[in-house]
Amino acid sequence: MPRFYIDAPLRAGSSCALPEEAAHHALHVLRLRGGDEVTLFNGRGGEYAGRIASLGKRELLIDVLQHREVEREAPLHMVLVQGVSSGERMDFTIRKAVELGVAAVRPVLAAASVARPKGERAAARREHWQKVAISACEQCGRNRIPEVRELVPVQEALKHDESRKILLSPRAELRFSAACRKVETAVTIAAGPEAGFNAGEEAAFLDAGYVPAKLGARVLRTETAALAALAALNALRGDF
């Protein structure tokens, strides 16, 4: 059943209009028609059954039906500190991390990051990445929206974190599965960009309490490493 995120209060018995971009997708991609059933959520808990009441060329009105108190969050609170990668790699990483249950994404600008948005461009990228996260929630069934936080240098992302912290590093001696043994209810994973974190950045992670760990003997691409770690965490401590 099609799912749509609406950034507004929802109430059973009321009606709401889909945002223009979502309405275009519903009308011209999904080819929805009057009377079709949909699911609505606003990121504030649970979801709502809905039915298309009326539609026009660019607008779509939905009757909001009963509220369903259902959540599909991972039992393990996972945060991803991700070195910014270029092009579609970052979009792919965020989309799949949301599908795997990540609670928040902290994009960081590393010395080796190929993509280096700043100022207004950085704010625009963050807004784009948040939309990617919302789209992933629509697809995978999550009713809570993971926050994509402000893009900051590596050192600024290390200040306020009390959970178990693991730095993915192909140079580490400790296996990732061993590093996960002390994970209980929350964990933060740090993954570098295409060329990884440099020595100074890795030292900053270690000073902040991160434990370096490797994902096997092979060097994984940036868009593979974080997702492999999140999937392994789900298998070891989550809901897989």
Q: State residue 115's pLDDT score.
A: 76
Helix spans in 175-221 (H): 176-179, 199-207
Q: State residue 67's pLDDT score.
A: 96
Q: How far is CA 160 from CA 97, 134, 163, 207, in A?
A: 21, 25, 10, 13
Q: For CATH 2.40.240.20, list the domain ranges present in the chain.
A: 3-68
Q: State residue 122's pLDDT score.
A: 87
Class of domain 77-237: alpha beta
Q: State residue 112's pLDDT score.
A: 83
Distance CA 185, CA 200 (A): 30
pLDDT in tens, the chain (240 residues): 899 999 999 999 999 999 888 898 898 899 999 999 999 999 999 999 999 998 877 789 999 999 999 999 999 999 999 999 987 899 999 999 999 999 999 999 998 887 787 888 889 999 999 999 999 999 999 999 999 999 999 988 887 677 899 999 999 999 999 999 989 899 999 999 998 999 999 999 999 999 999 999 999 999 999 999 999 999 998 889
Angle at 193 between CA 155 and CA 78, to 5 degrees: 70
Listed in order, strand segments (DSSP E) in the chain are 3-5, 15-17, 37-41, 47-55, 60-68, 77-83, 104-109, 147-148, 152-153, 164-168, 186-191, 211-213
Give 51-104 as a DSSP string: EEEEE-SS-EEEEEEEEE------SSEEEEEEE---THHHHHHHHHHHHTT-SE
Distance CA 43, CA 232 (A): 26
Q: State residue 204's pLDDT score.
A: 94
The single-letter code of the amino acid at 79 is V
Q: For CATH 3.40.1280.10, list the domain ranges present in the chain.
A: 77-237
Distance CA 28, CA 121 (A): 30
Q: Under a CB-based contact definition with an 8 Å cutoff, are residues 109 and 70 in contact?
A: no
In this structure, which topology does domain 3-68 adopt according to CATH?
Ribosomal Protein L25; Chain P (2.40.240)
Q: Whose structure tokens read 């979801």? A: 47
